[in-house]
Amino acid sequence: MSSIFVWWIGEEEVDHELMEHVRLHLAAAFGRPVFLWDSPERPRHAYDEKRKQYRTTPILGWLGEAGPGAGKVLGVTDADLFIPILTYVFGEAQLGGGAAVVSLKRLLDPAGGRAQLVERLAKEAVHEVGHAFGLVHCGHEHCVMSRSPAVREVDAKGVDLCGECRGHLEELAGGA
């Protein structure tokens, strides 16, 4: 059974309560050991000066190389993330791979407060780690694996996998 590691890779001080919340949600969603990982290293090479954002692809590669070396690793950052074809992304993962990343940047709404941020981060963390386990976007709007291009879709979906995605995860994890 592969473990999941959660690694704060933001520039601000780590929010231990927030990271613990993510850890607990991942453990509940995937039924695997989840550990908080800590290192002073950061993927600064992924910064795009022109866009003033971090590109996710180099971050994912870096997480795989610099991370704990086993299981899945989720990087959590306060940096704004992008992929070249989109203005921004909440996160990205290597489909069926070892690394995923999520950002707080676009999930934070000062009017929504901390509780909203915590809930949104938990959903996106489970979503991206789900991709790392091989799950694809789900057509059930309340499933955590449903596509969420904007925060309204993040808010509309639940934090849990639907029955169909849970069954698919069990099939995929059969060999893990």
Would you name the residues annotated as active-site residues? 128
Extract the tokens encoding 47: 């910064």
Residue 173, C-beta contacts closer than 8 angstroms, at least 6 positions apart: 133
Query: Is residue 149 within 8 Å of residue 141, measured between CB atoms?
Result: no
What distance in Å separates the CA atoms of residue 66 and residue 159, rounded to the nearest whole number? Answer: 28
Query: Is residue 79 within 8 Å of residue 53, measured between CB atoms?
Result: yes
